[in-house]
Amino acid sequence: MPNPVSFARDIVPLFRPVDIANMLEFEVRLGDYSYMADPSGNHRNARRIGAYLSGARQPRMPLGGPFWTDAQLQLFERWMNEGFQP
């Protein structure tokens, strides 16, 4: 069985530094595990970001593209399904 998806190793590198910096303006901390995987909030931040990345919520992220590939979206989904590992 493959290693679980890790936020630090697998997910953070998917976000471009410019996207991480730009989202801070909206108090969204894409590169911060405690923000993204907050268990006290039922992981709502990660779930919400996932919906914007996939286009289920608009405007699709990252704003103006390029949008994540199916493989990147599947990796993010797998991270969530595997329990939001650090």
Determine if residue 85 is left, alpha or beta; phi over 0 gives left, psi from -120 to 50 gives alpha, anything else beta.
beta
Block mean pLDDT (10 aa), the chain, length 86: 91 97 96 94 95 97 95 98 96
Up-side HSE of residue 9: CA atoms within 13 Å toward CB?
Answer: 8
- Does 2 sit behind a cis peptide bond, omega within 30 degrees of 0 on the bond before it? no
Residues sharing a CB contact under 8 Å with residue 32, sequence separation 6 or more, in sequence order: none
Q: What is the pLDDT of residue 50?
A: 98
Cβ proximity of 11 and 75 under 8 Å = yes
